[in-house]
Amino acid sequence: MRPLLRVTDVRKYFPIREGLFVQKEVGRVHAVDGVSLEVRAGETLGIVGESGCGKSTLARCITGLYPVTSGSIEFDGDPRREVQMIFQDPYGSLNPRRRIGSIIADPLVIHRVGTKAERRRRVQELMELVGLNPEHFNRFPAEFSGGQRQRIGIARALALRPRLVVCDEPVSALDVSIQAQVINLLKDLQAELGLTYVFIAHDLSVVRYVSDRVAVMYLGRIVETAAGEDLYKLPRHPYTNALLSAASVADPDLSARRERIVLTGDVPSPIAPPSGCRFHPRCPKAMPKCVTDDPRLLAQGRPEGGHLAACHFPVEPGERLGSEKAQIEQESTEPHLEKGGGT
Amino acid sequence: MSLTEASAEAEHIPEQAEAVRGKGPWQLAWERLTRDRAAMVSLGVIAVIVLLALLAPVFAAITGHGPQEAFPATGLTPEGLPVGPGSGFWLGADSLGRDLFVRILYGARISLLVGLLSTLLATLFGVVVGMVAGFYGGWVDGVLARVLDVVLSFPYLLVAIVLVAVLGASVPLMILVIAFFSFAAMARVVRGQTITYKEREFIEAARSMGASKPRTMFVDVVPNLIAPVTVLATLLIPTSIVFEATLSFLGLGVDPRTPSWGAILSDSVDYYRVAPGLLIFPAVMLLLTTLAFNLLGDGIRDALDPRGEGGR
Amino acid sequence: MSRFLLRRVLFGVLVLWLVATTVFLLFFAGPADTVARRLAGPRAPIEVINQIRNTLGLDRPLWDQYLSFLGKLLHGDLGVSFISQTPVTTLIAQSLPGTLWLVFGAAVLWMTAGITGGVLSATKPRGLRDRVTTVLVLAGISLPTFVLGMLMIYLALSVFPWSGLQPGPYVSPLWDFAGFLQVMIMPWICLAVVQAAVYVRLTRGSMLDTLGEDYIRTARAKGAPERRVTYRHGLRAALTPVVTQFGVDIGTLLGGVVVTESVFGLQGLGQLMIRSVRNGDLPVIIGAAILASAFIVIANILVDVAYSFLDPRVRLA
């Protein structure tokens, strides 16, 4: 079956320019550096990684906000209308000077759909769908709470009846108590409207709850991808292990069996990514080969299982990762990873 | 974080059908402004001055004194000094026996005309240039930002003086000169604001929906510029009025025969020791006008940004 | 750092060249013969006008005049006044002391008043002191300089004649100190009042910003006395924008305090400028305009350099 979205070897570099009159390119940020993935209709692909790993850039490439530097993005349909995006910041993504009725109607107006009366009806329908009072269309964003604003953003994204919705950390800016409501709304909408999601988050537990498959990104690359439960039960890449260990602090479900793995050092600069495996400067299992050879994404376990990891020395079942290297430099007990909550 | 479904929908509390139409930011700002006593008094003062300026010909008819007409017989004492305030000349006469009151009213017309028109022009050009520079960025912004830098580092009073000296004093020239030197300040503010808004997610959201650049600019950026532009424009009006009065005082503003406040004050230089009214009355009018616009501008800023500390 | 300086200097030269060219072209783009006609008087016969044009080199082609003008400018030669036949540099040298004394004397006053007022109103925002200051500031900003100057002269001459203050040309303090004070005090106050209003506003806003920052709150929480917090921690950081503005203002004012000088008849650079504009004395106008722009350009560069020292976050790339 043809996938709804196929991303093939996409790269997105941002040039760094300097100079007053003549701008010279002095470097490039390798935000996304060779990502391939497929999303089938009706499923949810979760993408996780730390801030700056390129996941938001990838999301913007998929929605066409950024032109890609190389590679291709194929969508089975009209990408302009049928791919929509939900943004991270419910305060920043709604224009404070406009009434929400007009904000939600924006996609309809831009794509010249329907008459004014029809658009009004559609807006109210959408507001009802996302759990807002349809009579409030004349209000301004300032009169709504963070969760309600995110519902407005969702209503706007659904206006053109999209098939693929890219959610860029849709709940990370919300209070924890509100996060669950918005996540559940997204799940309900998926079931009701047959939506396909690409769901970006830095929080593994959120992704786990919504995703059929999960891809882990590090420094512009996908380092591991698997069906949700496979990834959580048997993470093969050391980075995924570290992420899960960080997430377990907040999620009791995950914590029981896991020891803490502490990542040392900061995320290297995406302007000059490390040689070989990009994770090697922080990896507890790093060997000389990891410094020189760039690992490819290879099938782990049964090939038809779809579990891929890019690691020369994948973590084996039962292997303990609290290695000497990590222990030596363990000054703080806090991992250099973001935990759940807002950014 | 736990993802239970227990509290789902707890956030959405059904509200009463009343108050369905929310109060917009503009409406709220207006309500705050009407509660600001200083701003309201200022608005009243401005209204009175505008009214007086509009009615200038009526007062000229009542007193029987045109703005340019000299009445040496009634306006000057036998010694040749201007008469003081009285029934014939309400605020007294000037050194040529012209009616000071009528001239001040006609002066209000010049001041308001120059102040409002130059501000309007400066705002129009400033907003367009600032928005284009800020929104399109790249080389367009590079070129425009340099031009603004150059205009802002010109010694503008000197250049204005030279311009007027060369091209001859006139009201339209005065308006153009003032507008030219105010537009850069406006453009710089608008450019800065546009750049901040360009980074906001709602602009990105508009682009992700396929909105064109011009549409995004007008639908999403412009409404957010109205507040800072309104404040700056209100504050540009008194600056322009003072600028015109200053140039006219130096004899380089509007045609010296035109009864502008600066020219009236300049005419009074040799006489105000014997007739202080020649200095006091036009000075008070000028001060009242600029003070009123400044107070109104401050009030508008506070009303539009209630959290800000103001005073900046 | 040196690249930054080079860039700023190049930009400054560009501005100076633009100012010189604009002023030059403006005069020649205007009605032809204005200069010669004005010098000769309204009823002079055409031969006299032609002779004047010839002597002054005004009959040569425009580009020729422009090139020789630029050439001389590069050598620091600003030419000779059409009217008095004195070198422009001499005229400028004669007018400069008055302007210098006016600007620096007033600067002391307005900085003292401005910063004090700003701090007083920022320590208790929305309090009585703050309200009074705000009203005074508004009055200062709304009052045109020349009106204030005229009112001061009126008061000095008619109400307080015993004060001895009077308007008049600059007198060197070395020759006649009493006379110097007599003519300078009013212009100092006049200029300082107008400027102080701006500085109160600036200091207040900047103080309020810094007093809200984290490290100030930390200092307070650690029990530092309020006075110490305000002056040691708050004021020092708050002064950065004030210093910036000060540099820019000094640069602008040194080019000629046109209005204040004219009202009080101080015979500084500003008045020299006005007088030459009225007389159509082109070389003096251009000279004064270039000098004024040079002051502004230099002041701006100095401010940027000072800024990078005051605020380590600013890196001059």
DSSP for A124-153 reads HHHHHHTT--GGGGGS-GGGS-HHHHHHHH
Q: Do residue B205 and residue A156 have CB atoms under 8 angstroms apart?
A: yes
- Taking contacts as CB-CB distances below 8 angstroms, the residues of chain A near B211 are 106, 110
Q: What local confidence, expressed as pLDDT, does residue A328 receive?
A: 34
The Cα of C252 is separated from the nearest Cα of chain B by a number of Å equal to: 7
Neighbouring chains of C at 3+ CB pairs under 8 Å are: B
Mean pLDDT along residues A85-112: 90
- Taking contacts as CB-CB distances below 8 angstroms, the residues of chain B near C283 are none
The Cα of B217 is separated from the nearest Cα of chain C by a number of Å equal to: 31
A167-181, B167-181, C219-233: lowest mean pLDDT where?
Answer: C219-233
Residue C102 has pLDDT above 90, yes or no: yes
Give percent above pLDDT 70 in chain A: 86
Q: Which residue has the higher pLDDT, A191 or C58?
A: A191
Mean pLDDT along residues B223-235: 87
- Taking contacts as CB-CB distances below 8 angstroms, the residues of chain B near A85 are 205, 208
The Cα of C178 is separated from the nearest Cα of chain B by a number of Å equal to: 25
A57-61, B21-25, B26-30: lowest mean pLDDT where?
Answer: B21-25
By Cβ distance, the residue of B14, B23, B202 closest to A133 is B14
Q: What local confidence, expressed as pLDDT, does residue C139 receive?
A: 86
- CA distances B41 to A316, B35, B37, Å, are 79, 11, 6
Chain C CB within 8 Å of residue B229 CB: no
Mutate to test the interface with B, among A93, A136, A166 (most CBs of B within 10 A): A93
Mutate to test the interface with B, among A84, A103, A110 (most CBs of B within 10 A): A110
Q: Look up the CATH number of the domain holding residue C255.
A: 1.10.3720.10
Mean pLDDT along residues C138-155: 89
- Taking contacts as CB-CB distances below 8 angstroms, the residues of chain B near C276 are none
Q: What local confidence, expressed as pLDDT, does residue C30 receive?
A: 53
Q: What local confidence, expressed as pLDDT, does residue A2 receive?
A: 81
A284-288: which pairs have CB atoms within 8 A and are 24 or more residues apart? A284/A238, A284/A321, A284/A322, A284/A323, A284/A325, A284/A326, A285/A238, A285/A313, A285/A315, A285/A321, A285/A323, A286/A325, A287/A312, A287/A313
Residue A295 lies inside a defined structural domain of this protein:
no
A35-44, A201-210, A302-311, A328-337: lowest mean pLDDT where?
Answer: A328-337
Q: What local confidence, expressed as pLDDT, does residue B16 receive?
A: 42
A24-38, A56-70, C303-317: lowest mean pLDDT where?
Answer: C303-317
Mean confidence (pLDDT) of chain C: 81
Residue B297 lies inside a defined structural domain of this protein:
yes
Q: Do residue B291 and residue C292 have CB atoms under 8 angstroms apart?
A: no
Mark which residues 16-55 of B lie under 8 Å from A by CB. Answer: 17, 20-25
Residue C286 lies inside a defined structural domain of this protein:
no
Mean pLDDT along residues C33-40: 63
Mean pLDDT along residues A11-21: 76
ipTM at complex level: 0.79
Q: CB within 8 A of A28, min separation 6: which ones? A: A13, A14, A15, A16, A271
Residue A151 lies inside a defined structural domain of this protein:
yes
What is the rounded distance in angstroms from the CA atom of residue B60 to the CA atom of residue B105?
Answer: 9
User: Any idea what the Cα angle at residue B1 is, between residues A340 and B6, rounded to 5°?
Assistant: 145
By Cβ distance, the residue of A88, A133, A178 closest to B15 is A133
Q: What local confidence, expressed as pLDDT, does residue C42 receive?
A: 64
Q: What local confidence, expressed as pLDDT, does residue A168 receive?
A: 92
User: Any idea what the Cα angle at residue B6 is, between residues B3 and B10, rounded to 5°?
Assistant: 110
Confidence of residue C1 (pLDDT cuts 50, 70, 90): low
Q: How many domains does chain B have?
A: 1
Q: Do residue B220 and residue A98 have CB atoms under 8 angstroms apart?
A: yes
Mutate to test the interface with B, among C133, C275, C277, C303 (most CBs of B within 10 A): C277
Pairing of strands A5-18, A24-39: antiparallel
Residue C72 has pLDDT above 70, yes or no: yes
Residue type for position C101: W
What is the rounded distance in angstroms from the CA atom of residue A50 to the CA atom of residue B122?
Answer: 47
Q: Do residue C142 and residue B291 have CB atoms under 8 angstroms apart?
A: yes
Confidence of residue C251 (pLDDT cuts 50, 70, 90): confident
Could you read off the pLDDT of A308-339 as tens digits, one per residue? 999 998 888 777 775 444 433 433 344 444 33
What is the rounded distance in angstroms from the CA atom of residue B106 to the CA atom of residue C149?
Answer: 24
Confidence of residue B71 (pLDDT cuts 50, 70, 90): confident
Residue B299 has pLDDT above 90, yes or no: no
Residue C72 lies inside a defined structural domain of this protein:
no
The Cα of A157 is separated from the nearest Cα of chain B by a number of Å equal to: 8
Question: Closest chain C residue to B310 measured between Cα atoms?
Answer: C205
Confidence of residue C232 (pLDDT cuts 50, 70, 90): low
Q: Look up the CATH number of the domain holding residue B50.
A: 1.10.3720.10
What is the rounded distance in angstroms from the CA atom of residue A81 to the CA atom of residue A328?
Answer: 53
- Are A162 and A84 a contacting pair, CB within 8 Å? yes
Q: Do residue C147 and residue B287 have CB atoms under 8 angstroms apart?
A: yes
Identify the CA nearest to C119 among candidates C195, C196, C207, C202: C207
3-state helix, strand, coil in chain A (%, to 5): 35, 20, 45
Chain C CB within 8 Å of residue B270 CB: no
Q: Which residue has the higher pLDDT, C56 or B37?
A: B37
Residue C290 lies inside a defined structural domain of this protein:
no
A168-177, A266-275, C58-67: lowest mean pLDDT where?
Answer: C58-67
- Taking contacts as CB-CB distances below 8 angstroms, the residues of chain A near B208 are 60, 63-65, 84-85
Neighbouring chains of B at 3+ CB pairs under 8 Å are: A, C
Torsion angle defined by CA atoms of residues A166, A169, A170 and A173, in that order, rounded to the nearest 10 degrees: -160
Residues in chain B: 312
Mean pLDDT along residues B4-30: 54
Q: Do residue B149 and residue C143 have CB atoms under 8 angstroms apart?
A: no
By Cβ distance, the residue of B149, B166, B265 closest to C150 is B265
Q: Do residue B11 and residue A111 have CB atoms under 8 angstroms apart?
A: no
Residue A150 has pLDDT above 70, yes or no: yes
Residue C113 lies inside a defined structural domain of this protein:
yes
Could you read off the pLDDT of B280-291 as tens digits, one per residue? 899 999 999 999
Confidence of residue C131 (pLDDT cuts 50, 70, 90): confident
Separation of first and last alpha carbons in chain B: 43
Which residues span the domain enclosing A113? 93-160
How many A-B residue pairs are in contact by the CB < 8 A criterion? 120
Residue type for position A282: R
Mean pLDDT along residues C187-194: 92
Q: What local confidence, expressed as pLDDT, does residue B155 receive?
A: 67
Q: Do residue B287 and residue C145 have CB atoms under 8 angstroms apart?
A: no
Mean pLDDT along residues B82-110: 82
Question: Closest chain B residue to C157 measured between Cα atoms?
Answer: B273
Residue A306 has pLDDT above 90, yes or no: no
Confidence of residue A127 (pLDDT cuts 50, 70, 90): very high
Mean pLDDT along residues C28-35: 57
Q: How many domains does chain A have?
A: 1
What is the rounded distance in angstroms from the CA atom of residue B80 to the CA atom of residue C204?
Answer: 51
Mean pLDDT along residues C97-110: 93
A322 is written with which tokens? 């609290």
Mean pLDDT along residues B41-47: 93
Give percent above pLDDT 90 in chain C: 13
Q: What local confidence, expressed as pLDDT, does residue B290 receive?
A: 92
Q: What local confidence, expressed as pLDDT, does residue B309 receive?
A: 36
Which residues span the domain enclosing B150? 34-304
Q: What local confidence, expressed as pLDDT, does residue A23 receive?
A: 63
- Taking contacts as CB-CB distances below 8 angstroms, the residues of chain B near A21 are 142
- Taking contacts as CB-CB distances below 8 angstroms, the residues of chain B near C146 are 245-246, 249, 262, 265
Q: Do residue B209 and residue A106 have CB atoms under 8 angstroms apart?
A: yes
Confidence of residue C213 (pLDDT cuts 50, 70, 90): low
What is the rounded distance in angstroms from the CA atom of residue B147 to the CA atom of residue A166?
Answer: 42
Identify the CA nearest to A258 among candidates A293, A232, A222, A225: A232
- Taking contacts as CB-CB distances below 8 angstroms, the residues of chain B near A64 are 208
Could you read off the pLDDT of A217-245 as tens digits, one per residue? 999 999 999 988 888 888 899 999 888 88
Q: Do residue B15 and residue A136 have CB atoms under 8 angstroms apart?
A: yes
Chain C CB within 8 Å of residue B162 CB: yes
Q: Do residue A180 and residue B7 have CB atoms under 8 angstroms apart?
A: yes
Q: Do residue B210 and residue A80 have CB atoms under 8 angstroms apart?
A: yes
Residue B2 has pLDDT above 60, yes or no: no
Mean confidence (pLDDT) of chain B: 81
How many B-C residue pairs are in contact by the CB < 8 A criterion? 121
Q: What local confidence, expressed as pLDDT, does residue A243 receive?
A: 85
What is the rounded distance in angstroms from the CA atom of residue B269 to the CA atom of residue C146?
Answer: 11
Residue A119 lies inside a defined structural domain of this protein:
yes
DSSP H helices, A171-219, are: 176-193, 204-210
Confidence of residue C21 (pLDDT cuts 50, 70, 90): confident
- Are A104 and A152 a contacting pair, CB within 8 Å? yes
Chain A CB within 8 Å of residue B202 CB: yes
Residue A8 has pLDDT above 90, yes or no: yes
The Cα of B32 is separated from the nearest Cα of chain A by a number of Å equal to: 17
- Are B271 and B94 a contacting pair, CB within 8 Å? yes
Pairing of strands A83-86, A164-168: parallel
By Cβ distance, the residue of C26, C141, C292 closest to B155 is C292
Q: Which among A3-17, C112-126, C206-220 has the top mean pLDDT?
A: A3-17
A203-212, C252-261, C298-307: lowest mean pLDDT where?
Answer: C298-307
Residue C103 lies inside a defined structural domain of this protein:
yes
Mean confidence (pLDDT) of chain A: 84
Residue C26 has pLDDT above 80, yes or no: no
- Taking contacts as CB-CB distances below 8 angstroms, the residues of chain B near A156 are 205, 209
- Taking contacts as CB-CB distances below 8 angstroms, the residues of chain B near C207 are none
Q: How many domains does chain C have?
A: 1
Could you read off the pLDDT of B142-180 as tens digits, one per residue? 888 888 877 776 667 777 877 777 777 788 888 998 898
Q: Which residue has the higher pLDDT, A323 or B138?
A: B138
Q: What local confidence, expressed as pLDDT, does residue B263 receive?
A: 86
Residue C185 lies inside a defined structural domain of this protein:
yes
Q: Do residue B153 and residue C15 have CB atoms under 8 angstroms apart?
A: yes
Chain C CB within 8 Å of residue B180 CB: no
Q: Do residue A183 and residue B3 have CB atoms under 8 angstroms apart?
A: yes
Chain A CB within 8 Å of residue B137 CB: no
Residue C12 lies inside a defined structural domain of this protein:
no
The Cα of B200 is separated from the nearest Cα of chain A by a number of Å equal to: 6
Q: CB within 8 A of A174, min separation 6: which ones? A: A90, A146, A147, A150, A182, A342
Q: What local confidence, expressed as pLDDT, does residue B311 receive?
A: 34
Which residues span the domain enclosing C124? 95-279
3-state secondary structure of C312: coil
Q: What local confidence, expressed as pLDDT, does residue A246 receive?
A: 74
Residue C315 has pLDDT above 50, yes or no: no
Q: Do residue C259 and residue B265 have CB atoms under 8 angstroms apart?
A: no
Residue C122 lies inside a defined structural domain of this protein:
yes
Q: What local confidence, expressed as pLDDT, does residue B76 receive?
A: 75
Q: What local confidence, expressed as pLDDT, does residue B4 receive?
A: 42
